[in-house]
Amino acid sequence: MTSAPQDFVRVCALTDLDEDSPKRVEIDGVPVAVVRTEGEVFAINDICSHANVSLSEGEVEDCRIECWLHGSSFDLRTGKPSGLPATKPVPVYPVKTEGDEVFVSVTQES
């Protein structure tokens, strides 16, 4: 993964992201789910705040990612859970695209 200015790291090509299909990447030891949905790309911490499971294995719908284990879903824009059992948000990270390249910064949470 190549670094770009302002602590952004290249995580994949835009063409590597299927619509509504999360892709798990790791940036400096931080697991991140990168999601292309509704014409935008989002990056959210890949670990559910309720249980230590990967969110990138869940479903994406209406700009939310659902934890496959207990059904909590998190807003891809804010990281806030929609309901129980999760009560704590998960971090979301800034994303930028340059041409066909997708960059994420885990040093600053949005």
This prediction has a pTM of 0.90
Asked if 69 and 85 touch (Cβ cutoff 8 Å), the reply is: no
Check pLDDT > 80 for residue 4: no
HEC string of the chain equals CCEECCCEEEEEEHHHCCECCCEEEEECCEEEEEEEECCEEEEEECECCCCCCEHHHCCEECCEEECCCCCCEEECCCCCECCCCCCCCCCEECEEEECCEEEECCCCCC
Which residue has better confidence, 106 or 108?
106
CA dist 45 and 55 (Å) reads 8
Give the model confidence (pLDDT) of 5-40 as tens digits: 469 999 999 999 999 999 999 999 999 999 999 999
